[in-house]
Amino acid sequence: MAYSLSGAALTVAAVASYETITNSEILPDITGSVLAVTIIVVSFGYAYTARKRRIVNSNGAGSPSQIKNKHQNDGEDERLLP
């Protein structure tokens, strides 16, 4: 996603520079506003779905990480006993 945001920013900057050099208007004035709102909506949407996916995956009972942590704790308890 970072690459697409960078690509969009570079494209808009290149077109704006070309407009300044050639004294023409390629992009409408509303382009900046639309692009900003689109980036914000897509970013929050991506963050929401990624967080929801992470929560669903971490609640799986009997996942390997939970089993591994249980065995690690058992081994630590045995070392503490004299």
- Cut 0.75: pTM above it: no
Q: Quick check: 23 pLDDT over 90?
A: yes
Cα within 13 Å of Cα(72), Cβ side: 6
Give the pLDDT of residue 81: 54
The parent domain of residue 42 ranges over 2-80
Domain count, the chain: 1
DSSP 8-state code for residue 81: -
Mean pLDDT value across residues 20-31: 91
pLDDT in tens, 31-69: 888 988 998 998 899 889 888 777 766 655 555 554 555
Reported as a single tens digit per residue, the pLDDT across 2-19 is 788 888 889 989 999 999
Pick from 32, 4, 39: which is nearest to 16 by CA? 32
The pLDDT assigned to 32 comes to 85
